[in-house]
Amino acid sequence: MGLMNKEKNQRIFLGISYGKITRKIQGQENPETFTDVEGHLKEITVRSAEIKGQQTPFLDFIIEDGEDTYDLSVQKNSGVARSILLSLASVQDFVGNIVRISPYLSKDGEHTNIAVYVNKQKVSWVCEASKIPPLKYVQVGTQQVADDSARSKFFDQHLAVIQNRLNAASATPQAAVAPSNVEDIPDGGDFFAGGDQHL
C-alpha cells in the first residue's frame, strides 16, 4: 500500500534501521518507520556516497507500487544488502510479481534481519551460509587487515544475476515461487562485515 498525501509520481527515499523501514521527513527529528515495503522491483543501481570522509558503496532497490516509486537505499557491503541479494537470487521469476522486503530485529535485538517475500511467500537464500567465502585477514606491516575481496566478488556475481533477470524479463507476471521452510534468515551478524506502518 502506498503512502498518502503526496504528489503523483514522487520518488520516496527509504532506508533500513533497527529492524524497520525508515523515511526521513524534512523538519522532523525522528524518521517515519514502516514494517515493510512492497511492489514490483524494477531496478537495482549501485552508487557511492561519502561517509566520514570515505566513499561508501550503496545499493538502491527501485520498487514501484502503483503510482508510488520507492528508492530503498542500503550499504552495499552490509549484511542487510547481502541478505536481500541472496534471497532474490534464489527466485527465477520474481520480476512481474510482488516483492516484499521486511526487516526485523534479531532475537537479541542487536542485528537487523531481513525476510524477502515473493507473492506473499517467504523465500530462502540461494545458498547455505557455509557457502559464503570467509572473511580473510592479511598482514599489512604490523597489523592484521580484513580482506573482503573474495566475499565481495561472490555477492557481485549474485547482483549481476539479479540485474540480468530484471533487464531480460518482460512485465508479464509469472508463477509464484514455492514457500520457504526457512523461519529465520540472519542479516549477517555472524557472516558479514558489516508507530509502524506498511508501505
**CB–CB of 149/137 below 8 Å?**
no
pLDDT for 173 beyond 80: no
More confident residue, 37 or 96: 37
- In the chain, the percentage of residues whose pLDDT exceeds 70 is 80
β-pair type (54-65, 32-51): antiparallel
pLDDT for 34 beyond 60: yes
Q: What is the pLDDT of residue 118?
A: 95
pLDDT for 199 beyond 90: no
Give the predicted TM-score (pTM) of the model. 0.80
Q: How many other CB atoms are found less than 10 A from the CB of residue 130? A: 7
The C-alpha atoms of residue 98 and residue 180 are separated, in whole angstroms, by: 16
Q: In the structure, what pLDDT confidence band is assigned to residue 93 with cuts at 50, 70 and 90?
A: confident
**CB–CB of 117/100 below 8 Å?**
yes
pLDDT for 12 beyond 70: yes
What is the pLDDT of the chain when averaged over all its residues?
83
Q: What is the pLDDT of residue 124?
A: 95
Q: What b-and-e string marks burial along 97-120, b requiring 16 or more CB atoms within 10 Å of the CB?
A: bbbbbbbbeeeeeebbbbbbbbbe
Residue type, 47: R
